[in-house]
A and B are shown apart, each in its own frame.
Chain A
Amino acid sequence: MACFLVPTAEALVISAVKKAESVKEKKNPGASGEAKAEKIPFSRKLSWLTGLLWGGAFLLAFEHVWHGEVVPFFPFLTAASNPEDAAEMLHEMATTGVTMAAAVTVVWIGMLAASAIIERRARKAREAKEGA
């Protein structure tokens, strides 16, 4: 009914956090040279999450338009026009919507773990090269 609104809300919050993080990173560039090349900035990692959330929510919004659940006139959500449907919509947002947002975040955490392994391998390779 409107489950895509929960990932959209998360995408909005994460986009703001990403913006703040990239401003912080520009002020404090940190490492330089090869060490910098093998360290992925956190703002870039956050952009993976915003990409998944915005992309997924956009295509889900289209699905809701397809099914007539989102309309281009007030109140925009057909379920919001009467209290019974609105209650059902809120229940769906609290269950399916929240699980959707959580699932995308869990996948992103998996991506962070994979990128940490790749970063560690690159650092070890550089250290081995420097040691030789």
Chain B
Amino acid sequence: MTLLLTVFAAVAATVVWYKKDQDGSMKTSLLCFMFWGASIMWLVDAVFEYAELGAGYFTPAAADMLNDAFLGLSVIALALIVWVAVLLIKDPKGRVKGVLFRKKS
């Protein structure tokens, strides 16, 4: 479930990067790298688990599936927080700088 959610997040981030971030100013490539990197690594983990459990890998207990889904959503939230933090720190469009140094009239 974690792998599945991360793959969906990776595909969504890649589509946004391709369609909306031509100049790279929104730093969506960071999200793509995080999600694709984690997806590849969890895929390898899944293959090893499948080799150990066999078909049982595809019939997890409901509690395990819920925990994995919760973990997957938390991973996505963490990656989004990192991305927003990097975006605000690098401030490629100068929005934060503009707000901080705006003079009150």
- List A residues at the B interface (Cβ < 8 Å): 3-4, 7, 48, 51-60, 62-63, 66, 95-96, 99-100, 103-104, 107
Instruction: Give the number of residues in B that approach A within 8 Å (Cβ atoms).
Output: 25
- List B26-50 residues whose CB lies under 8 Å from chain A: 29-30, 33-45, 47-48
| A62-B33 contact, Cβ under 8 Å, with A95-B48, A104-B40 | no
- When C-beta atoms are compared, the residue in chain B nearest to A4 turns out to be B41
Tell me which residues across on chain B come within 8 A of A52, comparing CB atoms. Answer: 33, 36-37, 40
One digit per residue, 1 when the CB lies within 8 angstroms of any chain A CB and 0 when it does not, for chain B 68-87 equals 00010011001100100000
Q: Which residues of A contact B39 (CB under 8 A)?
A: 56
Q: Are B40 and A96 in touch, CB under 8 angstroms?
A: no
**B6 contacts the other chain (CB 8 A):** yes
For residue B71, which residue of chain A has the nearest CB?
A66
| Interface assignment of B2: CB less than 8 Å from any CB of chain A | yes
User: Is B37 a contact of A59 with CB atoms below 8 Å?
Assistant: yes
Bound complex: CA A117 to CA B82 (Å): 33
For A63, list chain B residues within 8 Å (CB).
2, 71, 75
* Chain B interfacial positions (CB closer than 8 Å to A): 2, 6, 29-30, 33-45, 47-48, 71, 74-75, 78-79, 82
Known: A54-B37, A55-B34, A56-B34. A103 touches B43 (CB 8 A): yes
A96 near B35: Cβ-Cβ < 8 Å: no
Residues of chain A lying within 8 A (CB to CB) of residue B30: 51, 55
Nearest first, the 5 A-B pairs at minimum CB distance are A56-B37, A51-B33, A55-B34, A59-B38, A52-B37
Residue among A4, A7, A59, A99 making CB contact with B78, cutoff 8 Å: A59
Q: How far is the CA of A96 from the CA of B42 in the complex (A)?
A: 10
Known: A100-B41, A100-B44, A104-B41. A55 touches B35 (CB 8 A): yes
List 12 A-B residue pairs with CB atoms under 8 Å apart, sorted by A's residue number: A54-B33, A55-B36, A55-B38, A56-B36, A59-B38, A59-B79, A62-B75, A62-B78, A63-B75, A95-B48, A96-B48, A107-B40
Q: Is the CB of B44 within 8 A of A96?
A: yes
